[in-house]
């Protein structure tokens, strides 16, 4: 009987120790684990133990090129442990491995590794035709949109302005692998200098490029 009691006490003690060990229930990246250059990253961790004795939650992140973000101490807010990785640390394309370590008052800890990446978003007005624009012309503007070094072929939208006035393309811009996105516009009905600004949006990110256009009066020929 004594041996049975000792065994039961040992099992209860072992069970209590297991229950007391910290557990990482969830890790959330906001706005996403896929970021754009210029965005910051908020990390939210749900870490608990049976005794509510979590003493610290830390995050360290290393890029695939070895770039190391200083270790972050997460603060407890509204039931979560939270920190922000500032955009200055995320200033160029990279893929990061983030290690989250949760420790309790008994110096017991648990770790979990999560990944996030940073991408660049670039737009280029690569071509405008015709090279000399006259009243009544149909203008073709080719816009190359890239995530890092790869063209984006879907999910893109455009806001187009001539001299700060919103204009609509002739048709919804198609995508051509050799040209990028093709925007067709009617030439203004008054000759002169114009500023053409194209804002390209893709999800949370956008970029604006502006160029100058000259619209000419048509050349008149006469035979005498």
Supply the CATH number for residue 48's domain.
2.60.40.1930
Q: What is the pLDDT of residue 218?
A: 85
Q: Is the pLDDT of residue 147 over 80?
A: yes
Note whether residue 11 is domain-resident.
no
User: What's this model's pTM, rounded to 2 decimal places?
Assistant: 0.83
Q: Give the ranges where the chain is alpha helix by DSSP (H).
A: 2-20
On whether both 62 and 83 belong to a single domain, the answer is yes
Mean pLDDT of 106-134: 97
**Residue that terminates a domain, selected from 119, 154, 170:** 119
Gap between the Cα atoms of 11 and 105, Å rounded: 22
Q: What is the pLDDT of residue 221?
A: 60
Cβ atoms of 114 and 27 within 8 Å: the answer is yes
On whether both 99 and 156 belong to a single domain, the answer is no
Note whether residue 2 is domain-resident.
no
Note whether residue 12 is domain-resident.
no
Predicted confidence band of residue 219 (pLDDT cuts 50, 70, 90): confident
On whether both 63 and 83 belong to a single domain, the answer is yes
Mean pLDDT of 78-82: 96
Q: Is the pLDDT of residue 108 over 90?
A: yes
Predicted confidence band of residue 12 (pLDDT cuts 50, 70, 90): very low
On whether both 25 and 45 belong to a single domain, the answer is yes
Burial class (CB in 10 A: 0-12, 13-18, 19+), 35: buried
**Residue that terminates a domain, selected from 93, 119, 145:** 119
Q: What is the pLDDT of residue 194?
A: 97
The DSSP string of 27-56 is EEEES-SEEETT--EEEEEEEE-TT--EEE
CATH of the domain at 161: 2.60.40.10
Q: Is the pLDDT of residue 207 over 70?
A: yes
> Number of folded domains in the chain?
2
Predicted confidence band of residue 7 (pLDDT cuts 50, 70, 90): very low
On whether both 79 and 32 belong to a single domain, the answer is yes
On whether both 102 and 145 belong to a single domain, the answer is no
* Residue span of the structural domain in which 154 resides: 121-216
């Amino acid at each position: 009987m004594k041996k049975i009691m000792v065994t039961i006490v040992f099992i209860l003690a072992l069970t209590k120790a297991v229950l007391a060990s910290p557990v990482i229930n969830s890790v959330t990246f906001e706005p996403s684990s896929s970021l754009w250059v210029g965005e910051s990253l908020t990390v939210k961790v749900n870490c608990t133990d049976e005794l509510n004795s979590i003493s610290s939650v830390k995050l360290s992140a290393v890029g695939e090129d070895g770039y190391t973000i200083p270790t972050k101490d997460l603060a407890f807010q509204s039931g979560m442990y939270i920190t922000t990785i500032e955009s200055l640390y995320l200033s160029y394309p990279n893929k990061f491995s983030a290690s989250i370590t949760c420790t309790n008052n008994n110096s017991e800890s648990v770790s979990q590794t999560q990944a996030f990446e940073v991408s660049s978003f670039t737009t280029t007005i690569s071509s405008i035709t015709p090279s000399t624009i006259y009243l009544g012309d149909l203008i073709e503007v080719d816009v190359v949109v890239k995530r890092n070094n790869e063209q984006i072929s879907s999910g893109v939208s455009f806001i187009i302005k001539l001299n700060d006035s919103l204009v609509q393309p002739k048709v919804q811009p198609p995508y051509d692998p050799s040209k990028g996105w093709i925007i067709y516009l009617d030439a203004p009905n008054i000759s002169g200098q114009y500023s053409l600004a194209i804002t390209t949006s893709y999800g949370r990110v956008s970029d604006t490029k502006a160029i100058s256009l000259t619209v000419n009066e048509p050349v008149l020929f006469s035979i005498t």
